[in-house]
Amino acid sequence: MTARKEEVGPSGLASALVASGALQSHWLPTYKAVPRDMFVPDRIWPGIADGTRQNPVVDRAKEPGGWFSAVYSDIPLTTQWDDGTHTGDGLGKTPSSSSSQPRMVFSMLADLDVKNGLRVLEIGTGTGWNSALLGHRLGAENVISMEFDADVATEAQENHRNAGLSPLVVVGDGRVGYPEGAPYDRVEATCSIGEVPRAWITQTRTGGLIVAPWGTPYGGEAIVRLTVDGDTASGPFTRSSAFMRLRQQRPSRPPHDTYLKGQAWPADGDRSTTGLSPADVGGWLVQFAVGLQMAEAFWTVERYDDGSYTLWTYSSDGHSWASADYEPEAVSFEVVQSGPRRLWDETEAAYVWWDAQGRPDFERFGLTVDSEGEQAWLDSPTHPVPRVG
């Protein structure tokens, strides 16, 4: 018996999204009325924009079938590189705008829990598909979308017009929100953040929701669903995510040579060994759990032809670094650390804590934001995640 071939197109994607639980029945009429292909440019780069799972450019004029198939696949589509300065067919340095993965789009809309009459502020218009979905569901007059890139905003507005929708698109810095339209019942960010802007909280009604991808400088990211109560917002993470960072919150990291101060490795570092493999801290979830505990730290990997690599960890202030050498089949790994922070020791302590808690997934963590800052927690706000170092 021959397996039934999955239908390529809006119906096939809808079936997959419904089966996954992302596309709820009350969103299905809106999905059908606001087709994704009306919000995707002619040139796209399908797949995850991490340099390893990114496909070559697909040009609608040259490959109409391939373009249509990509649009109605459950994958993200990069639509801009390097803030618009990269115009070639190849991959740019940094993806800067996209059409998000449909499963994530509708999962976040489910988290947003919109109802008729609610007002929504969206941060990150992109191609305009998400704001169009919200506009169709709630009425365009109840949706305001902010986009920092004027060219991207213009294209989104054209897409809205072609779809017969007219949510307000504002060109500006999403961190400050749009006070002219406040208060909002919902705020949704379609770009990732490392810090929840205070303006989003002050412009949201008490009882309202903020839904946004949130991650630490170290790595890992998840969707946080915050309920606003006055000047405080608190709530759980709902699922893993991987979005492009809000432009004004992109990290500015010192180069590698800043840490070694012109000396050859190991410079002034202290040598030791560890039984914790660098590979054990490389997963997205582990990065998230470690990053919640290690303030202002980040890492890079230097890979070698034999399958070994060096995991470099740095402090954002440029004063501390650690290297951990991974070799296949090894049970002990060489570590070098330098500076006032013992960054590998911090990494180990963070990993040990996460492991001792039963290796909790994203959904067991949460976040509280108030006038004093942000505090991650495990299972309950009364159980704050400790800081190491």
User: What CA–CA distance (Å, rounded) separates 12 from 3?
Assistant: 15
CB under 8 Å to 358, separation ≥6 — which residues? none
Chain position carrying tokens 């040139």: 43
Overall average pLDDT of the 357-373 stretch: 97
CA-wise closest residue to 219 among 153, 299, 132:
299
Give backbone dihedrals phi and psi of 175, rounded to 5 degrees, phi first.
Answer: -60, -30
What 3-state class would DSSP assign to 92?
A: coil
Mean pLDDT of 12-37: 97
Q: Which of 8-12, 131-135, 224-228, 274-278 has the lowest mean pLDDT?
A: 8-12
pLDDT tens digits, 106-145: 999 999 999 999 999 999 999 999 999 999 999 999 999 9
**pLDDT band at residue 88 under the 50/70/90 scheme:** confident
Q: Which domains does the chain have, with CATH numbers?
A: 103-250+365-389 (3.40.50.150), 256-356 (3.30.160)
Average pLDDT, whole number, for the chain?
95
Q: Just list the catalytic residues.
A: 100
Looking at residue 8, its pLDDT comes to: 75
pLDDT value for 53: 57
Is the model's pLDDT at 364 over the cut of 80? yes
Tokens linked to 222: 């998840």
Question: Residue 275 class from Cβ within 10 Å (0-12 exposed, 13-18 middle, 19+ buried)?
Answer: exposed
User: What are the tens digits of pLDDT across the range 230-239?
Assistant: 999 999 999 9
pLDDT tens-place string over residues 266-278: 999 999 999 999 9
Q: How confident is the model at residue 372 (pLDDT cuts 50, 70, 90)?
A: very high
Give the Cα separation of 194 and 221 in Å (integer).
9
Q: What are phi and psi of 171, to 5 degrees?
A: -90, 120
Q: Which two tokens stand for residue 26?
A: 């009350």
Question: Amino acid identity of 277?
Answer: S
Cα-Cα-Cα-Cα dihedral of 153, 159, 164, 168, to 10°? -10
DSSP letter, residue 226: E
Amino acid at 141: E
């890139």: which residue's tokens? 149
